[in-house]
Chain A
Amino acid sequence: MSRSPSGDRVALWRNPTFRAYVLQGVLLAALAALIGFIVVNTMANLEARGISTGFGFLDERAGFSIPQTLIEYSGDSTYGRTFVVGLLNTLLVSALGVVVATIIGFAVGIARLSPNWLLARLAGAYVEIFRNIPLLVQILFWYFAVLQALPSPRQSLSFLEIIFINVRGLVIPDPQPLSGFAATPWALLVGIVAAIALGIYAKRRQVRTGKALPIYWLGAGLIIGIPLVVFLLTGSPLEWSIPELTGFNFSGGVRVLPELVALWLALSIYTAAFIAEIVRSGIQSVPQGQVEAANALSLPGSITLRKVVIPQAMRVIVPQLTSQYLNLIKNSSLATAIGYPDLVAVFSGTTLNQTGQAIEIVAMTMAVYLTISLVVSALMNVYNARTLLKER
């Protein structure tokens, strides 16, 4: 190992390979020692304090209700189910937030570089305002601003008497699947698979023959068409529950909570300010020559942006964008401030209080966020790898 190409012996401690191994060995040992130390201590301390641990509490009856549940849930459900409900709510608002923040962020970031003075300044102001004010304050602002603007349930704004907007949220008709509906989701799945297969085929075909298929139209047709046909063939097994004002509130229909809207707005607008800065730096990293070349080809501005600038800026943008997505997801836990029932609110909030199993619950919460984050980074890394330039 320490033989050099020229054959003479090298002092062991000067050999870079040897050094590397020693350093790494020390690092590994230190890490193992630290983890061992923490584990041993925690065990001893838990023992000494007589604190019982375990995940048995997940099977106990929760006994409290949650205002927004994407799956069946009632006070009789278990804490385990509470966990799932909270998790789904977190995922919902995060997903919505990520989409909108990305859209606003790109728009503002691009606008900041616009030759239109007013637009550029407004975009700059947007960034400087929303980036520099604590998110909590912004969430509260949007929540109460949103609420303030809306009428009470009895004076609801209505659209065709089937959609209602009021201070309690947006109420829309709720589709109720009847028997036989189950075929439609399967058909949707088939449609998506078919569309992906078509995409792969089309790409191959294009490489081989140079001919392209209109894959977007065909794909959309497959994804929408197949389920639609199946839906109609099975006799349209769907019924709508129309909301109705009864007493205090609307019954029937699905309700979109104002908490969700406010949180979604606040998260999107706040994160978009950060994304805008990232997009700006990304675009500025694309060499000016690229835009000039596009101009020389007389490509219109929008095409230049979409086909030439943005794809190249993505290399710089994507890693930082990942961080912002993770931040958004984690920031969604500020939901507790306005009563949106996310994971932190219902699980490491209410459940923790009811059961007192802090260690387990905090550990589970951390694990969940960690998992979400790792999945997001993994996806973004895949995308990042695709944006990397093909070079020699």
Chain B
Amino acid sequence: MAGESMRDEMIEARRPPNAHRGVLKWLQRNLFNGPINSVVSVVTLGVLVWALWPFVQWALIQADWLGDSRQACSGEGACWVFISARFESIIYGFYPEAARWRVDIVFALMAGLLAWLAIPKVPGKRWAAIIAVIGFPIAAYVLLLGGHFGLMHVSTRNWGGLMLTLTVATIGIVGSLPIGIVLALGRRSKMPLVRAVSVVFIEFWRGVPLITVLFMASVMLPLFVPTEVEFDKLLRALVGIMLFWSAYMAEVVRGGLQAIPGGQEEAGKALGLNYWQRMGLIVLPQALKLVIPGIVNTFIALFKDTSLVLIIGLFDLLAIIRAGLTDSDWLGFATEGYVFAALVFWVFCFSMSRYSQYIEKRLQTGHTN
């Protein structure tokens, strides 16, 4: 029979062996661990340099930066003068110059509020939320549109550029999420008609192209309503965008709802919570957390789709750059325009993507069974 043994002295915990530290070690471990990986690494880096170098040369090294007319363009590299000459309109669209400070204030407020809400350490989240939900929209409405308190009225026709893109995206995002949640709940409802309506609504909006929706909203709407009724064009587009994306949002949220074990709802029932309390306090917080990647996918797609407001005759960031290309003084700078637009969109979407990943990590409250 095998031996018996017993330990009297406990072994003290030791520090792990120092095997994997330092830059070289890191490189070796991550890039050159084994012959195949080394080759892959070298080839990849080579391809990256080979592919990016001409672009860097065009966009940075040989580019023209200073000047105010096309005479400043040497034609060897990119001519960013085109962008800088139109920079104001790219940001503000056709918003009257005298009133642009109002746009600045609104977006400064928004940035501040976002920071307040987004950075976990800053206290007073409840107040921030109240301001963001009630105070800020009113302030933004009054400031951007004007017509009150002695502010000059600025028609939405004059909105444009980055300012319009951000406005539409923000309202679209803020609007489509709650509608999507309600639709998702509706689709899981026990009442057949509510469920049927949700399904039809979702499948309809998910099935038609947004372009045609906006087309209808922009030029055909007057046919659908009595002649006296008039809506602001931007408003119509916003409604269209919200409904359209809420259908996508609903499907994402539904995925999350399906993943929450039934026991959670039962526990809520056993505690005496009613339907809306169970949903609001228990099921949705968990479901939404689960589908953050999907929600952000939708946000990003929505953000980029704001470009379609061109159909209602408004010039968002991309459209205003394209409009600039038809200015007879600046013909022929398409590449610069598109590259710049791509860069701006990228910066915003990338930030969203990164922030969401950070939130995903933060919301990890230990593993669940």
Contacts and interface: CB of A to CB of B under 8 A. Distances in A.
Direct A–B touching, Cβ under 8 Å = yes
A134 B223 contact: no
Contacts of A374: 203, 207
Contacts of A141: 338
B211 to A, nearest CB: 6
A73 interface: no
A377 B222 CA distance: 33
A323 interface: yes
Contacts of A280: 293
Contacts of B208: 330, 366, 369-370, 373
B304 interface: yes
Interface string B342-369: 1001101110010000000000000000
A308 interface: no
Interface residues of A, number: 58
A155 interface: no
Contacts of B215: 362
Contacts of A238: none
Contacts of B307: 134, 136
A45 B225 CA distance: 8
Interface string B167-192: 00000000000000000000000111
Interface stretch (B97-105, B128-136, B249-257): B249-257
A240 interface: no
Contact of A31 (B29, B197, B211, B318): B197
Interface string A34-64: 0000100110011011000000000000000
Nearest to B291: A281
B197 A27 contact: yes
B31 interface: yes
Interface stretch (B36-44, B110-118, B265-273): B36-44
A278 B251 CA distance: 13
B297 A28 contact: no
A309 to B, nearest CB: 17
Contacts of A116: 37, 40
A330 B40 CA distance: 37
A128 B255 CA distance: 23
B37 A118 contact: yes
Given A24-B194, A41-B223, A131-B353, A137 B203 contact: no
Contact of B220 (A320, A326, A359, A372): A359
B252 A134 contact: no
Contacts of A322: 251
B227 interface: yes
A96 interface: no
Contacts of A79: none
Given A134-B304, A136-B318, A369-B209, A27 B194 contact: yes
B269 to A, nearest CB: 13
Q: Which 9 A-B pairs have the closest CB atoms?
A: A373-B207, A132-B349, A117-B30, A24-B193, A370-B207, A330-B209, A45-B223, A132-B346, A134-B304
Given A133-B349, A277-B293, A366-B209, 20 more contacts: A20-B190, A24-B194, A27-B197, A41-B226, A42-B224, A118-B30, A132-B349, A133-B342, A134-B304, A134-B345, A136-B307, A320-B252, A320-B297, A323-B206, A358-B219, A362-B216, A369-B207, A369-B212, A370-B204, A377-B207
